[in-house]
Every structure is written in structure tokens, then in C-alpha cells.
Amino acid sequence: MMFSSVPETLSSVEMYPTLKGKCEILEERLTHLCVKLNNKKENFNDLNDNIVTYESSKKSLPILRIELDKLNKNNQELTNNKSYFENDIKNIISVIACRAKLIGKEPKLSNIRTREIQEKIDKINEQIGINEQNMYELHDKINVLYKFDVNKINNEQKLIKEEIKELGIQQFMLEEAIEYINHVILQEKMRSQYDKYACDNDIVFDCDDDFDIFRKCNIHCHNILLDGHETYTKCMKQGRRCSEDVVLTINKYGDIYGKCECGYGRWIKEDIPENLFEFNITKTHVYGHMDWSDY
């Protein structure tokens, strides 16, 4: 990638004297921004999950009400049974106390019968406690469904989407600025190699265009790579008789020639990238491909 102009983000780090210093500042900004962006995306997804859960749960609202009503009725029955058993114990103790008084003895207020009844009461209390906990949870679920405001959540999501969009723009600008600086650093590192290559191959370039030497040398290097490049077609897939072997040649104008045995295949030229990270005079990748399908 080549930049048509210097990224605007660089204007805010001009006070740093070195390219490396500028790059480090921007990379630190980018790290913090990416964390913020990921948090916003998580917030958006959490809200979306809440909506999905609500849409699924609201269908069960009648069932929740029925379950709540059943638990409430069950607790009323348990409470009535508990009162019945408590009255039983009171009656038993009353008889024991009255008899003991008549004969002048201390009453024994606990026996097998009262203990058995008390065990029943304890089990009832335990079940009532379980029911009350379940009722509390059902009440909570029902209240959440009643209070859930889909429009409010949608508005929150809308605001977060706008923030995500803005952060995405900032991320792109920072990444663009970092790439630009790193590309300039690479140009400076490779400049001596390009000066030598241009001199060795009599390449004329525009001295007023800082990048022209890289562009001209890369094109020259790529043309050399293409000249004599061995490739192949798949003409026989079209039912033709062909060796499918092709050797490319290139003239001084940059025109590329190369035919297979049947003569149907043709070389499709591709522009080489101007980003030195993708292509430079030390790379040997050829850009372009053979086309045989439309012949």
C-alpha cells in the first residue's frame, strides 16, 4: 500500500524527533484504543444476549405465574398442616400436664408421640423454606421480565454502535499512520541498495519524487524476473491438445509475451505493489498469471 498523502494522525506526534519515537507513541495509543474497542464490542454483545434471553424468557411468563401460584397454594396447605400438628402437640401436652398435676408429679412434656409430630413439623418448615426460596426466585424472574425495556436496550446498543464506529475509524487512522512510518523507515534502510541498483542498471528516476527510485527499480527488477519465467496453462482442461508449458519474454517497453503449444493461453499482467514490505528488489515473487479459460 502507498499513501497518497501523509496520514492526519501523524500531525499529533510531530514533536517527537525520530520516526521510531513517533511509531512507539502511535502503537501505545493503538493498544489502548483496541482494549477500549473490544470492551465496547463486549458491552454490545452482552446487551444483545440480554435481548435474546428476554425474547426467549417472556414466552415462559404464563408458566412462571402458574408455578408461583402452585408454590403459594402448597405453602398454604403446608401451613395449615403445620397448625394442625402444633395443635396436636398442645393437646397432648395439656393432657400430660393435667394428669401430672392431679397426682402431684412434674409433667414429662416430651415423648415418642410429640417427637414424631415435631419431626413432621420440622419437615414442613423445611419444605416451606424451600418453597419460599423458589417463590422469591420466580418473583425476581417475573419482575425482571416486566421491567425489561427493549427500547432502552436498543437505544444503548445504537449509542455503542456509534462509539464502535468512531473507534474503528480511529483504529484505521492509527494503523495507517504506523504503517506509513514503518514504510518510511524501511525506505531509509533500503535506500543505499536502491541507489546501487539504479546505478548498476542505468535507471533514470525523478529526484524530486522521493519514492520514484523505489518504483522504477521495483518495476525493472520485476521485469527481469518475468523475462524467462517458466509457467504453464491448463488448456487440456478445455479439451485441447497442448503441452501447457510456457516461457515468458518481455521487451524493453514492458510488454510480456508467452504462448503454450496450442497458443490459447495468455499472460494476465498484475501491477506490483508499491509497499516495500510486499515487494522490493530483494524479493523474487512474480505478479501475474496465465489465463486459458476463455479461449
* Per-residue pLDDT reduced to its tens digit, 250-263: 987 888 888 888 88
265: exposed, middle or buried (Cβ count in 10 Å: 0-12, 13-18, 19+):
buried
- 30 and 139 Cβ atoms separated by less than 8 Å: no
- Residue 232, all three cell numbers: 504453464
Q: Is the dihedral of CA 186, 187, 188, 192 positive or negative?
A: positive
Q: Tell me how far apart the alpha carbons of residues 184 and 26 are, in angstroms, rounded to a whole number.
A: 15
Task: Return the pLDDT at 220.
Answer: 93
Question: Is the predicted pLDDT of residue 196 greater than 90, yes or no?
Answer: yes
The whole model's pTM is what? 0.56
- Residue 108, all three cell numbers: 414429662
Q: What percent of the chain has pLDDT over 90?
A: 37
Q: Tell me how far apart the alpha carbons of residues 172 and 42 are, in angstroms, rounded to a whole number.
A: 20
Backbone phi, then psi, for 250, in 5-degree steps? -140, 135
Q: Tell me how far apart the alpha carbons of residues 200 and 194 are, in angstroms, rounded to a whole number.
A: 10
What is the fold of 1-200?
Helix Hairpins (1.10.287)
Q: Model confidence at 8, in pLDDT bands (50, 70, 90)?
A: low
Residues 6+ apart with CB under 8 A from 67: 134, 138
pLDDT digits (tens, 9 = 90+) for 70-86: 999 999 999 999 999 99
pLDDT digits (tens, 9 = 90+) for 29-73: 889 999 999 999 999 998 888 888 777 777 777 888 888 899 999
The domains of the chain are located at: 1-200, 212-291
Closest by CA to 58, choosing from 127, 129, 133, 147, is 147
146: exposed, middle or buried (Cβ count in 10 Å: 0-12, 13-18, 19+):
exposed
